[in-house]
Amino acid sequence: MSTKPKNIILGISAGIAAYRMYDLVNELKKQGHNVTVVLTKDAKNFVSELPLKVLSGNPVYSEMFCPKEQNKPIHIDLADNADLVLVAPATADIIAKMATGICDELITNILLATTAPVYLAPAMNTNMWDHFTTQKNIETLVTKIGYKIIAPEEGDLACGYSGVGHIAPNERIIKTILLGENEVRPLLGKKVIITAGGTREAIDPVRYIGNKSSGKMGIAIADAAYNLGADVVLISTVYAEKKYQVIEVETAQELQEVIEAEFDKADALIMAAAVSDYKPMKTSKQKIKKKNEDLTLELIKNPDILEILGRTKREKQIIVGFSAESEEMEKNAKEKLVKKKIDMIVANDITVPDLGFGSDENAVIILTKDGQRECLQRQPKIQIAKHICQKLAELFLSIKEAKEV
Ligand code: CTP
C-alpha cells in the first residue's frame, strides 16, 4: 500500500494482542512510515521495549517525565509531530480513560494533546466489549470526539471465551489508518432521506420560479451520511451520480410526493433543499409571448413539507430542517424549529458574500429542540455535513438512551 510516509504514534496498552504489534511496527516501517511506540506501564508485561526499539528504529517511550533533554514536554512533542495516533490493542481500561479524559499515562496525555486523527483497535474479553460502559465509551469517542474504531473480530479469545473481542488483523489496521477508512459507522442500519437543491416551479416550458440553491450542501450531507453507514436516499433537483440511491425531482410537489413515499420507512429526514414557497397558479403549455403590456403572475402557496411531516412523524423518526435567513437568523430559526416540530435546525445567513448558496463553504448555527446550540464558523461544506451527520447520530443515541431509562 503506497501512501505518503507518516509519523505514526503507536500506543500499546496491556492486552495479550500487544504481541502482534511487533509485526505491525515492522510492516509499517517496511512501508516507509516512522513509528514511535508508546507503552502503557502495564503493557510492558506483554511486550518488551528492546524489540520494539529495534523494529521501529526509534526510542520507545512510556514515562511522562523523560530524562532526555528536550525543548517541549515529551507528550506535547510527540502529539505535535504525529500525523496519526493508533492505540492497539486498546483495552477497556484505556478506552474508559480516553472517554473521560483521564491522563495517568504518557499515551493518554498524548491523546488529549494531539490534533491528529486517532484510531483505536480494541481487543478484550467478549463480555467486557459488550458491556454497557464500554459500548457507551466507544459511542462517546466516536460521536463526540471523532475517533475511529477498527472494530474487533469474532473468534476464540485468549481468555478462553469465544466471541467478539479479537483485535482486527494487522492488515486491516494498516489499511484503515493509512487510507483513513472510518470503520465506525454510527448511522449503520438507519435509512436517511436527504433533500438537496432548489425546486423549480414552471411558468411555461422555458421559464420557472427558482432559487440560488446549488445542492452542494445537501449532496455533501448525503455523502457524509453514506460514509457513516446510512442507507441514503438523496432526493435532489440537481443530477448526482452516487453509490447510493438518487431520485431527481424538479418541483416542490414532486419533492413532496417522493418524500412522502419514502418517509414511512425512513429513520430520519434532512431537509436541505430550498423549497419554493409559491408556484404559478397556472403553468402555460406554450411559451408565453411578449406583449405590449406588463404581465402579472398569480402565485399560489406550496405546502410546507417539513411542517406536515413534523406534525405526523413517528416519535422515533428524526427530522432536521434548514433555515435560510437574511435577518434575525437565530430568532427565526428557533421559531421554525418550534413551529415545524422538528428535532434540529441548521441556520445560515444568506447575506454573507461568498458563503452559502453556490459556495463550497458555509457557516451555520445548529439548534436542537432540547436547547443545544452550536456555532460552526466558516468552513468547507463537507466538514459541516460531517458534523450534521455526527449530530444526527447523537440524536439517535439519545432516543435509544431515553427508551432504555
Ligand atoms: N421547507 C419545506 N417546504 C416549504 C418551504 C420550506 O419543507 N414549502 C423547508 C426547507 O427545506 C427548510 C425549512 O423548511 O428545511 C425552512 O425553509 P426556509 O426557506 O428557510 O423557510 P420557510 O419555512 O420557507 O420560511 P421563510 O421563507 O418565510 O423564511
What stretch(es) of the chain map to CATH 3.40.50.1950?
A: 7-183
Distance from the alpha carbon of residue 187 to the mean position of ligand 1, in angstroms: 26
47: left (phi over 0), alpha (psi -120 to 50) or beta: beta
What stretch(es) of the chain map to CATH 3.40.50.10300?
A: 191-404
**Mean of the per-residue pLDDT values of the chain:** 92
Query: Among 103, 159, 375, 389, which one carries the catalytic annotation?
Result: 159
Residue 375 catalytic?
no
Mean pLDDT on 325-339: 96
Residue 74 CA to residue 84 CA, distance in Å, equals 16
User: CATH 3.40.50.1950: does it fit domain 7-183?
Assistant: yes
Residue 169 CA to residue 303 CA, distance in Å, equals 53
Is the model more confident about 36 or about 142? Answer: 36
CB 255 within 8 A of CB 397: no
Mean pLDDT on 293-302: 97
Asked if residue 268 has its Cβ within 6 Å of ligand 1, the reply is no
Q: How many helices (H) and strands (E) does the chain have?
A: 13, 19
Task: Please tell me the class of the 191-404 domain.
Answer: alpha beta
CB 84 within 8 A of CB 121: no
C-alpha cell at 151: 472494530
C-alpha cell at 101: 479524559
Distance from the alpha carbon of residue 343 to the mean position of ligand 1, in angstroms: 15
Is the pTM for the entire model greater than 0.85? no
* Per-residue pLDDT, 209: 97
Q: How far apart are the first and last CA of the chain?
A: 46
Which of 302, 322, 341 is the best mutation target for the ligand 1 pocket, counting ligand atoms within 8 Å of the beta carbon and taking the most?
A: 322
183 three-class SS? coil
Backbone φ, ψ for residue 90 (5° rounding): -100, 115
Mean pLDDT on 395-405: 75
Q: Tell the residue number behind the cell numbers 421559531, with chain if given.
A: 335
Nearest alpha carbon, ligand 1 atom 21: 323
